[in-house]
Structure 1
Amino acid sequence: MKVLIIGLGSIAKKHIAAINKLDQSAEIYALRSNPHSKSDIAGVIDTYNLNDVKVSELDFVLISNPTSEHFSTLQQLVEFDIPLFIEKPLFSKINEETQSLVDEFEKKEITTYVACNLRFLDCIKELKTILKDAKINEVSVYCGSYLPNWRPGVDFRTVYSANKEMGGGVHIDLIHELDYVYWLFGNPDKTNSFFSNTSSLKISAYDYANYLWTYKTFSASIVLNYFRKESKRSIEVVTDKGTYYVDLLKNTIEFNNKCIFASQKRIADTYYNQIEFFVKNILIGREKFNTIKEANTILKLCMKD
Structure 2
Amino acid sequence: MSSKGAVGGRIPVAVLGTGSIGTRHLELLRKIEGVEPVAVPMRRDRRRYWERSGYRVASGWEQMVGDGPLLGVVATDTARHAEDACQALNLGFNLLVEKPLAVNIGEAARIKACAARAGRRVFVGCVLRFSDSLNVFRQQLPRIGRVHTVHIECQSYLPDWRPDRAYKDAYSAREGEGGVLRDLIHEIDYAGWLFGWPEAIQARIRNTGRLGISADEIAWLSWEASSGTLVSISLDYLTRPSRRGVRASGEKGTLEWDGIGLSVALKRPGKRDELATSQQTKEALYTAQLQSFIQACVEDAPSRLATLQEGYRAVSISDAARRASDSRRETKVDYRVEDHS
**Which of 156, 162, 178 is equivalent to 2:188?**
178
Instruction: Please tell me whether the aligned partners of residues 26 and 38 of structure 2 are also in contact (alpha carbons under 8 angstroms).
Output: no
Runs of 4+ off more than 6 Å: none
For 2:282 and 2:255, the matched residues in 1 are separated by: 20
The structure-2 alpha-carbon separation of the partners of 1:242 and 1:267, relative to structure 1 and needing over 3 Å to count, comes to farther
Aligned to 1:83: 94
Map of 2:286 onto structure 1? 271
Q: Does 1:33 align with 2:48?
A: no
The secondary structure found in structure 1 opposite 2:44 is coil
CA contact (8 A) 1:121 1:267 kept: no
Paired position in structure 1 for 2:135: 125
Which letter does structure 2 place at the counterpart of 1:198?
A: T
Equivalence for 2:312: 296
Whole-Å Cα distance in 2 between the matches of residues 55 and 39 of structure 1? 24
Aligned to 1:224: 235
Task: Give secondary structure in 1 for the equivalent of 2:261.
Answer: coil
The AA in structure 1 aligned to 2:183 is D
Amino acid at match of 2:256: Y
Using the TM superposition, name which of 193-202 and 264-273 deviates more.
264-273
Q: 2:266 aligns with which of 238, 255, 268?
A: 255
RMSD, aligned CA = 2.0
What displacement does 1:279 show? 1.9
Aligned-pair identity (%): 26
In structure 1, distance between residues paired with 2:130 and 2:49: 29
* In 1: Cα distance, 2:12 partner to 2:180 partner: 34
Deviation at 1:140, TM superposition (A): 0.3
Aligned pairs for 1:182-193 (under 5 A) are 182-193=192-203
| Conservation of the 8 A alpha-carbon contact between 2:219 and 2:235 | yes
Rate the CA distance shift 1:293–1:142 in 2: closer, same or farther, 3 A: same
Shift of 1:53: 3.4
Q: For structure 1, which segment, 168-177 or 289-298, has the greater mean C-alpha deviation from structure 2 after superposition?
A: 289-298
Q: Provide the rounded CA distance (Å) in 2 between the counterparts of 1:213 and 1:168.
A: 23
Consecutive unaligned residues in structure 2, runs of 5 or more: 1-10, 323-341
Give SS of 1:99's match: helix
Q: CA deviation at 1:58?
A: 4.2
Contact 2:207–2:216 (8 Å) recurs in 1: yes
Tell me, yes or no, if the aligned pair for 2:16 and 2:39 is still in contact at 8 Å.
yes
- Aligned partner of 2:7 in structure 1 is none
3-state DSSP class of the match of 1:38? helix
Q: 1:49 to 1:188 in 2, by over 3 A?
A: closer
Question: For the Cα contact (< 8 Å) 1:117–1:270, is it kept in 2?
Answer: yes
Structure 2 match to 1:67: 78
* Paired residue secondary structure (2:290): helix
SS in 2 for 1:279: helix
Change (3 A) 1:61 1:281: closer
Counterparts of 2:296 and 2:257, CA distance in 1: 27
Specify whether residues 186 and 106 from structure 1 end up closer, same or farther in structure 2 by C-alpha distance, changes over 3 A only. Answer: farther
Kept after mapping to 1: 8 A contact 2:70/2:92: no
**Aligned residues of 2:222 and 2:230 also touching (Cα < 8 A):** yes
Q: In structure 2, do the counterparts of structure 1 residues 104 and 38 end up closer, same or farther at CA, with 3 Å as the change threshold?
A: closer
- SS of the residue 2:316 aligns to: helix
Contact 2:155 2:238 in 1 (8 A): yes
Mapped to 2, the partners of 1:44 and 1:123 lie a distance apart of 33
2:120 aligned with 1:105:
no
Whether 2:270 is the aligned partner of 1:242: answer no
Instruction: Report the number of matched residues.
Output: 302
Q: Deviations over 1:178-226 (max 9, x none)?
A: 1111110121232111111114112100011111021242211100001
Greater shift, 239-248 or 57-66, is seen at 57-66
Unaligned runs of 5+ in 1: none
Q: With structure 1 as the length reference, what TM-score do the two structures score?
A: 0.92
Q: Counterpart of 2:212?
A: 202
Within 1, Cα distance between the matches of 2:118 and 2:63? 24
Q: 1:48: how far off? A: 2.4
Preserved contact between residue 106 and residue 293 of structure 1 (Cα < 8 Å): no
C-alpha deviation, 1:145, in angstroms: 0.8
